[in-house]
Amino acid sequence: MTTFPTVLADLLRREPGRPLVTFYDDATGERVELSVTTYANWVAKASSLLVEEHDLERGDTIRIDLPAHWLGPVFLGAAWNAGLAVSLDDSGAEPDAVVCGPDGVDRWADLAGDVPVLACSLLPLGVRFADPLPAGVHDVGVEVWSQPDSFIPWDPPQDDDLAVHDAGGGAEGDTSGTTQAQLWSAAAAGSLLTDGGRLLSEANPASPPGLATFTEPLARSGSLVLVVRAGRERLEATYAAERATARFPA
Three-state DSSP at 86 gives: strand
DSSP calls for 148-205: -S----SS---TTSEEEEPTT---TT---EEEHHHHHHHHHT-SSS-TT-EEEE-S-T
**Nearest CA to 161 among 140, 150, 175, 171?**
175
Strands (E), 73-176: 85-87, 97-100, 117-119, 137-139, 162-165
Can you give the pLDDT of all 250 residues of the chain as single tens digits? 699 999 999 999 999 999 999 999 999 999 999 999 999 999 999 999 999 999 999 999 999 999 999 999 999 999 999 999 999 998 777 899 999 999 999 999 999 999 999 999 999 989 999 999 999 999 999 999 999 999 998 999 999 999 999 876 665 656 689 999 999 999 999 999 999 999 999 999 999 999 999 999 999 999 999 999 999 999 999 999 999 999 999 8
Please tell me whether the overall predicted TM-score, pTM, comes out greater than 0.85 for this model.
yes
- Which domain range does residue 116 map to? 4-195+203-248
β-bridge partners, 21: 34, 224
Structural domain tally of the chain?
1
Instruction: Tell me which amino acid residue 228 is.
Output: V
Q: Residue 124 maps to which CATH number?
A: 3.40.50.12780
**Nearest CA to 215 among 167, 181, 245, 168?**
181
